[in-house]
Amino acid sequence: MGEFLLVTIQVDMHDQLALRLQDDLSNAIQKYETKGVLIDISTLEMVDSFIGRMVADISGMGKILGAETVLVGMQPAVAITLVELGLALPGVATALNVERGMALLRRTIDGAEADGATIAG
């Protein structure tokens, strides 16, 4: 993946696991000087408000550490559920699949670097 990190969420997450994930992820972003994170939820058939919040948190966290986050592969039924729950996940970038997600990340990062607007450690 080069400068990107791919996180694939396949199982039901509970509190502990989610916190562990956020921890591991933030450490990895820092260690590998990651510019972009892809969160792949294409195998998730159900998403609740907890996962929604977790993704939003990871996204925010990543941004602060200088990495852009893209959520990829949401299934139609999941999208409808989130919308009905009122979880629009504003501020979280999305893409249809990993390929598109990487293209989006590339565009965003190149754009940000052109403006010279990165906060990186």
63 contributes a contact to other proteins by CB under 8 A: no
State both tokens at 119: 């906060």
How many residues lie near other proteins (CB under 8 A)? 21
96 contributes a contact to other proteins by CB under 8 A: yes
79 contributes a contact to other proteins by CB under 8 A: yes
In 3D, which of 21, 73, 83, 65 has the Cα closest to residue 45? Answer: 73
State both tokens at 81: 């559920």
Half-sphere exposure of 84 (CA within 13 A, CB side): 8
What's the min distance (Å) between Cβ of 38 and other proteins? 11
36 contributes a contact to other proteins by CB under 8 A: no
Q: Which of 76, 117, 119, 121 binds other proteins (CB under 8 A)?
A: 76
80 contributes a contact to other proteins by CB under 8 A: yes
72 contributes a contact to other proteins by CB under 8 A: yes
Contacts of 58 (CB under 8 A, 6+ apart): 7, 21, 22, 25, 37, 39, 69
